[in-house]
Amino acid sequence: MIDTRKLHAAWGARSLHRLAWGSSLVGFALLFMADGWHRYDDMVEAVTKRHDLALLRVATAIASVQASGGVVTAFRASQIYVDEVGMPLAQEVSYQVTTSDGHYVSGSLELKLPVEISRKIASGSREPQLFDGWYRNEPVRMAAVATSYGEGDAAFPVRLLLVEPHQNRQEAKGDGLKAIVFRGVLSWIASTLFVGCLLWLSLQPIYSLCSELARRNDKNYQPLDEARPAELAPLVRSLNQLLEAQRTSVEQQRRFLADASHQLRTPLAVLRTQMQGMATGELKVEETLPKMIRTVDRSTSLATQLLSMVKVEQLANEARWAPVSLNGVASEVALEFAPLIARKRLEFSLDAIPVTLRSDAWMLGEIIRNLVSNAIHHSPIGSSIGIVIRRLRHEVELIVWDAGGGVSEAVQERLFEPFMASKGGTGIGLGLAICRQIADAMTAQVYLFNRQERGAVVGCDAVIRWPSSLLVAVPDVQSQTAYPPASLPAHLAKGTGS
């Protein structure tokens, strides 16, 4: 299997055009080299056959002249060979004619017929014999044939030995090799140029898309035209989705900043009015100071929650997760809110099994803290709240429940938007937005459900669910803990391991 990630890491920001063209250069070079090798083998075989056939025809021509009592010179033999081969010779062809018992008749005196070839001819074989040998310290190709010398009763058997220097064949092979290399190089150049032009034309839509994106300003989130080649269509669709997500994000940020500015400006304006009233004597100090303290507390809470949202985004980008005890964080949050719980005389319960998640301790504490704070805020004095931690088949679930009046189903989902508070609420409207932001960062889900008994709403359940893949240590405790509310929605009525 090819690891594309390693390829991307190896090439980095290098040009795909150059990569494809360079690969085609190497590929075509290897292809033409392999083809040239086979062509060279075929050419060598063809040259050998052509020269062997010419050598046999020269031997037949000389034998014919000898049979009529004539004499063929070496020059004439070479001319006959040139006519047969169709190319000039680097060295002349030599021959020798001897009697059956080895006596010289005509031709070169330096030639000598090998013994094994002489025996084949002496045995009565009339087929020409082709073999390699040496002549004047050079490799040669030889042809031996049995024939007769003279006419009529004066004729007697002779042996004809014809010699062709290998240099003639080497030059023919060299010329053939040059032709093969020349054709291969021309084909290679033409093929790579064609592929290069084809790649350039094929990449023009990408260059056009890059130019279109470069001409855009940072505020243009209009979708790109999807009338592109089929190969670019997925990329354009992904870019359009990214542009839409960016547009939505920018719009949310703009709306958030506008709301945050309004929320911060309002308490400051109230403080200014209260201070002016005390300065002019229109407002009594003992009555106005507690109101100013509440206004300052509200502003402080808003600033704290705004900073929390920024911190969540930073931690999500760093993504430094570590094993965290979920039940341990829940216990710490319960101790932190103990004074507020006691002030409203609330009955609190914590039913949890040991669970360790790969997460961020601050994020876990912040999301539980916001949900517990909401539960305390919306619970009547003297009622009850609690936290439940349990394992489902594929999830880990944390529930913060209260005995308040619940939330309107029409605004349940919108409550997770910034500065959105329930009807009649006195909160800032950032707590649940922070919870949703943290849940998304931890790959968890957060929900709000009204808990009903006999058709009446008796409380609200804030539910967080993490996938089991985030579990670090699977607890040995498998029993389902008791859940104080008597009636749960169907989606919550699951036992551990169900």
Higher pLDDT, 430 or 476: 430
Could you tell me if 391 and 355 are in contact, meaning their C-beta atoms sit under 8 angstroms apart?
yes
Radius of gyration over alpha carbons of the chain, in Å? 50
Using pLDDT thresholds of 50, 70 and 90, give the confidence band for residue 400: very high
* pLDDT score of 235 more than 70: yes
pLDDT in tens, 207-233: 888 888 888 887 788 888 888 888 888
Stretch 354-365: mean pLDDT, rounded? 88
Spatial separation of the C-alpha atoms in residues 137 and 130, rounded to whole Å: 19
Using pLDDT thresholds of 50, 70 and 90, give the confidence band for residue 151: low
Using pLDDT thresholds of 50, 70 and 90, give the confidence band for residue 396: very high
Contacts of 87 (CB under 8 A, 6+ apart): 172
Question: For 366, how many CA atoms within 13 A lie in the half-sphere containing its CB?
Answer: 28
The per-residue pLDDT for 145 is 80
State the pTM of this model: 0.47
Stretch 342-358: mean pLDDT, rounded? 91
* pLDDT score of 419 more than 60: no
Domain map (residue ranges) of the chain? 16-215, 233-310, 321-473
The per-residue pLDDT for 207 is 84
The per-residue pLDDT for 427 is 47
Token reading at 27: 């590929």
Spatial separation of the C-alpha atoms in residues 243 and 226, rounded to whole Å: 13
E strand intervals along 343-420: 347-352, 356-359, 384-391, 395-402
Query: Which of 76, 224, 58 lies closest to 147, judged by CA?
Result: 58
Spatial separation of the C-alpha atoms in residues 216 and 212, rounded to whole Å: 7
Using pLDDT thresholds of 50, 70 and 90, give the confidence band for residue 386: very high
Stretch 127-148: mean pLDDT, rounded? 81
* pLDDT score of 428 more than 50: no
Spatial separation of the C-alpha atoms in residues 11 and 7, rounded to whole Å: 6
The per-residue pLDDT for 319 is 60
Give percent of the chain with pLDDT exceeding 70.
71
Token reading at 173: 């092979």
The per-residue pLDDT for 81 is 67
Contacts of 360 (CB under 8 A, 6+ apart): 315, 320, 321, 322, 324, 442
Spatial separation of the C-alpha atoms in residues 345 and 379, rounded to whole Å: 10
What is the signed CA dihedral for 352, 353, 358, 359, rounded to 10 degrees?
A: 10
> What's the mean pLDDT when you consider all of the chain?
76
Higher pLDDT, 176 or 92: 176
Which range has the top average pLDDT, 31-45, 306-320, 408-422? 31-45
* pLDDT score of 29 more than 60: yes
Class of domain 233-310: mainly alpha
* Homologous superfamily, domain 321-473: Histidine kinase-like ATPase, C-terminal domain (3.30.565.10)
